[in-house]
Amino acid sequence: MRTPCRDLLRWQFDLTWSLAGLHLDALAPEDFLWEPAGLTWTVRPDAEGVWRPDWADTEPDPVPVPTIGWLTWHIGWWWGAAIDHAEGKTPPAREDVHWPGDGPAAITCLRDLGTEWERVLDGLTESDLDRPTAYPWPADAGLTLAHLAGWVNAELMKNVAEIGHLRMLRAASLA
């Protein structure tokens, strides 16, 4: 059965994900922790070797420039949470979402999330898309699972563009 809204969201995701592949496929392991400025947010191992992101509950001014490692952690955190919300599950707390420790493992995690998101999108009906959801906005915002899916696609496009820009800046700095 055709579901026009879901089909559009899936098309939008497929377009975004194909563009993501251009940047993800071109990343070198050294790209992930490259710091493009003096003020950056990155990921680093704690005393137990668990890779944790830099974070502030209130966004600093100026905003630190994220590393590709930080961005891949960030995508993993919000995308995993979005999938959990779409499936009616409680996502882990942000503090419990860690970076896998190297670039290739981070890309594998993102590709796994892409597969999961395809499964979620393909399983949605029109009535599912009308279901209220409170992620990533307040519960009283009155938004639906269709809004969540559109936000995921837009947020992914933004974060992938940031990764691509950082990748190109690093390559240009080495030229």
Give CA angle at 16 (36, 82), nearest 5°: 85
Q: Where are the domains of the chain?
A: 4-56+63-174
pTM of the model: 0.95
- Rounded-to-integer distance, Cα 123 and Cα 118, Å: 8
Residue pair 76/152 in contact (Cβ under 8 Å)? The answer is no
- The per-residue pLDDT for range 68-112, each reduced to its tens digit, is 999 999 999 999 999 999 999 999 999 999 999 999 999 999 999
Mean pLDDT of the chain: 95
Assigned CATH topology for domain 4-56+63-174: Four Helix Bundle (Hemerythrin (Met), subunit A) (1.20.120)
Residues 6+ apart with CB under 8 A from 59: none
Residue pair 86/149 in contact (Cβ under 8 Å)? The answer is yes
Q: How confident is the model at residue 2 (pLDDT cuts 50, 70, 90)?
A: low
How confident is the model over 54-73, as a mean pLDDT?
96
- The per-residue pLDDT for range 38-55, each reduced to its tens digit, is 999 999 999 999 999 999
A 10 A CB-CB count for 90 gives: 8
- In the DSSP assignment, the letter for residue 135 is S
